[in-house]
Amino acid sequence: MKSETPALPTKRPASTAAFERALRLMPGGVNSPARAFGAVGGSPVFIDRADGAYLFDLDGNRYLDYIGSWGPQILGHRPPAVVEALERALSRGTSYGAPTEAESELAEQIIDAVASIEKVRLVSSGTEATMSAVRLARGFTGRDLIIKFSGNYHGHVDSLLVAAGSSAATLGAPSSPGVTSGTTKDTLVLEYNDVAELAQAFSVHGSQIAGVIFEPVVGNMGVVKPSEEFCQSLRQLTREHGALLICDEVMTGFRVAFGGAQSLLGLEPDLTTLGKIVGGGLPVGAYGGRADVMDHILPVGQVFQAGTLSGNPLATAAGCATLKQLKETPPYERLEKLSARLEAGLRKAAEAAGVPHTLARVGSMMTLFFNPEPIVSWREASQCDTDRFARYFCHLLDRGIYMPCSQYEALFVSAAHCEDDIDETIAAAGEAMQTL
């Protein structure tokens, strides 16, 4: 139901004061650089609470939320079923360091949803999931080389923090200091969608490649879709050379479809990594895939991975409730309608203002690029007009529309958004475009 149109947010004195305090305590005043507003300027908005499609800051301003916690909140904030599940779990305790049925429940839901996953291990973040999957690929194959792609972000894993996307690209640290050459010598970085380069890499290094990790729909250089030929080559070349194909679905899992991007692409990877939605807004990551590969993980096999809070009772309760709701009342058709409406409106707004742009969307994740070229890899994504993006972002924020604060991120529509919210966003974007 549409609430009253928010008054334009005044300046955000309470957030500004909170940021000044945070700056004295934490690097950049944040616990993840993606939140630092580094690419858009000004002080980050400090959130007091959230509900449905909305965020509310310390100054009481209301924002339509298109970050959704960077993906997890596909149902919107505080969905009743998730809140109730958390309250029930909390009444029984918070963490035991011993197995619980909830972990088996969540594992079963993941295995049921993602056809290529026969066994799964729960961890506490997407980074842990990708780090573990890469270690497993190396342990299973006995090989060292891992291929990743520029602009793909797989969390802050040392060996994968090379030409990384998301906030690493946003803040100019795609290859981070502190990651040694010894760590990254076994990481080959190729261009996304470049089939010839991929084939060349396998012709030269094929017998040393443990695995290829990629985003099956990229969210971390903005949204970039894989070509059909690229997907086919990834699967064929890895299979031919005995390397594992790792689909990093931390963002796309349960987002673009209940079975993830792989279900849309008709792809059967050897391993899949998950996060975000699978925890319903609480810390859950997961990696899973072929049972013969997963059984190389300790204590069955010899590849080590562990975690104090892996499968945490509160986090698994939120994850189980979220996946249960996504399965029983799938929001995907509604998300497609709302997202298509938003896409059409943003395109029209940019065209009306004569702003050079392209827009890429898969389901309820999309990116408006301030670049007229079709974006198929980091080569094009890195040429976007990020200054223009920053002005666009700030204009929308001042009108109560909270977009991801980087050109190299996806926006997310949630099941809590309604047509009026979309139309309000389009109107504000139309205004913003005229000022760019």
Catalytic site residues?
153, 248, 276
Tell me: does residue 220 bind ligand KE4 (CB under 6 A): yes
167 sits near ligand KE4 (criterion: CB under 6 A)? yes
Q: Which amino acid is at 44?
A: P
In the complex with ligand KE4, the residue whose CB is nearer, 167 or 238, is 167
Q: Counting contacts by CB under 6 A, is residue 216 touching ligand KE4?
A: no
- Output the smallest distance, CB 154 to ligand KE4, in A: 5
**For ligand KE4, what does the binding mask look like between residues 49 and 88, x meaning CB under 6 A?**
---------------------x------------------
> Per rule CB under 6 A, is residue 154 in the interface with ligand KE4?
yes
Residue 254 within binding range of ligand KE4, rule CB under 6 A = no
Q: How far is the CB of 226 from ligand KE4 (least distance, A)?
A: 13
Pick the closer one to ligand KE4 by CB: 275 or 313.
Answer: 275
Residue 390, φ and ψ in degrees, nearest 5 = -60, -40
Cβ atoms 432, 395 nearer than 8 A? yes
126 binds ligand KE4 (CB under 6 A): yes
Query: Between residues 263 and 426, which has the closer beta carbon with respect to ligand KE4?
Result: 263
Amino acid present at 255: R
Per CB under 6 A, the list member of 5, 32, 104, 329 interacting with ligand KE4 is: 32
Four-residue CA torsion sign, 295, 301, 305, 307: positive
Instruction: Pick between residue 171 and residue 427 the one whose CB is nearest to ligand KE4.
Output: 171
15 near ligand KE4 (CB under 6 A):
no
Residue 255 engages ligand KE4 in binding (rule: CB under 6 A): no
Q: Report 262-321 residues binding ligand KE4 (CB under 6 A).
A: 275, 285
Please give the order of strands across the beta sheet that includes 411-412.
Answer: 358-362, 365-369, 411-412
Residue nearer to ligand KE4 on the CB measure, 160 or 426: 160
150 near ligand KE4, rule: CB under 6 A: no
Nearer to ligand KE4, 128 or 380 (CB): 128
User: Under the rule (CB under 6 A), what is the footprint of ligand KE4?
Assistant: 32, 34, 70, 125-127, 130, 153-155, 166-167, 215, 219-220, 248, 250-251, 275, 285, 409
